[in-house]
Amino acid sequence: MSSEHMQIGEVAARTELSLRTIRHYEETGLVRPSARSQGGFRLYTESDVARLMVIRRMKPLGFTLDEMRDLLEATDRLDSGEELSDAERTALLERIRGFEEAAQRRVADLRTQLARAEEFAATLAARLP
């Protein structure tokens, strides 16, 4: 095995995702192993790990698998190195901007929820001797 390839166990440890979750993301088309070993084991690269980290960061913000796929398709297209028309590049960047705005809104919502939870915990703590 090449030093640039990792088996799924190492990827799971690095991304803090379970083997089952990584396999699920593979089944749904969000990520594909870059290669297979002679024994048929999935092999991943740093690029695959980076892709899984994008997915991992989107999940707690409530993005759906379809939304994750849409964002990854847009970034894949921008990163493909292929010549893009100005219109296509603009459209892809607008899609990404929409995700960035949605992420900012969701982060703000989570901050509000956290503030309420902290206030509740403080209220309970104040009732204790």
**How far from 68 is each of 16, 64, 73, CA to CA, in Å?**
18, 6, 9
For residue range 36-82, list pLDDT tens digits in order: 888 888 899 999 999 999 999 999 999 999 999 999 999 999 999 99
For residue range 5-47, list pLDDT tens digits in order: 999 999 999 999 999 999 999 999 999 988 888 888 889 999 9
Residue 125 has pLDDT above 90, yes or no: yes
Beta bridge partners of 113: none
User: What are the start-end ranges of the H helices in the chain?
Assistant: 8-15, 19-27, 46-58, 65-79, 86-127
pTM: 0.84
Q: Using 50, 70 and 90 to split pLDDT, how confident is the model at 1?
A: very low
Provide the 3-class DSSP secondary structure of residue 33.
Answer: coil
What integer pLDDT is reported at residue 41 of this predicted model? 87
The strand pair at 6-7 and 35-36 is best described as unpaired
**How far from 123 is each of 5, 111, 113, 116, CA to CA, in Å?**
51, 18, 15, 10
Residues 45, 27: Cα–Cα separation, whole Å? 18
**Cα angle 87, 65, 15; round to 5:** 105
